[in-house]
Amino acid sequence: MKYIYSGLMLFFLAGCTTPQEKAIFAHCNAEAFKMIPQQLVTQQVMRPFFIGEKIIGNRNVCRTNIRDSKDRRGNITKIRETICMDEPITEPVFQQQLVSETVDINISQRQVQINSCSLNAKAIGMFSNIK
């Protein structure tokens, strides 16, 4: 639930937030960082990396062209040509690779603190004078 709410909070910040909500989030975010600082660690994690595409089948694609042609007497006739080709159907291929990533192991605790602070700040009307 906390991850869904944090995603919603980021959604609100990106678009339709009021100046009050932006101020509350900035305040609560700063307070949470003071209370629960970052604790960065390097972890080995598996991540998918694109390595190419593989052909999983073919589809027959036809294109019809109509062109004008003159015969020996100069009469113009319409010539219809249909060209069909097999085009490959592909899908991406990924390979799992072990990579090192730096992550903040306090992020979930800090997000809980931010959410709690934001709810309390809205309840008491903090920054309600900001327009």
Same domain, 35 and 59: no
Q: How many CB atoms lie within 10 A of CB 28?
A: 22
Same domain, 55 and 91: yes
Same domain, 26 and 57: no
Same domain, 35 and 56: no
44 inside domain: no
**Could you read off the pLDDT of 73-124 as tens digits, one per residue?**
888 888 899 999 999 999 999 999 999 999 999 999 999 999 999 999 999 9
94 inside domain: yes
54 inside domain: yes
**Nearest alpha carbon to residue 89 among 63, 61, 62, 54:** 54
Q: The CATH number of the domain where 97 resides is what?
A: 3.30.2460
Give the domain extent around 78: 50-102
Q: Please provide the average confidence, as pLDDT, over all residues in the chain.
A: 87
The CA distance from 13 to 127, in Å, is 16
> How many folded domains does the chain comprise?
2
Segment (H or E) for 80: strand 76-104
Same domain, 118 and 98: no
The CA distance from 89 to 53, in Å, is 10
Say what the pLDDT of residue 1 is. 39
Say what the pLDDT of residue 15 is. 59
Confidence of residue 35 (pLDDT cuts 50, 70, 90): very high
Segment (H or E) for 8: helix 2-14
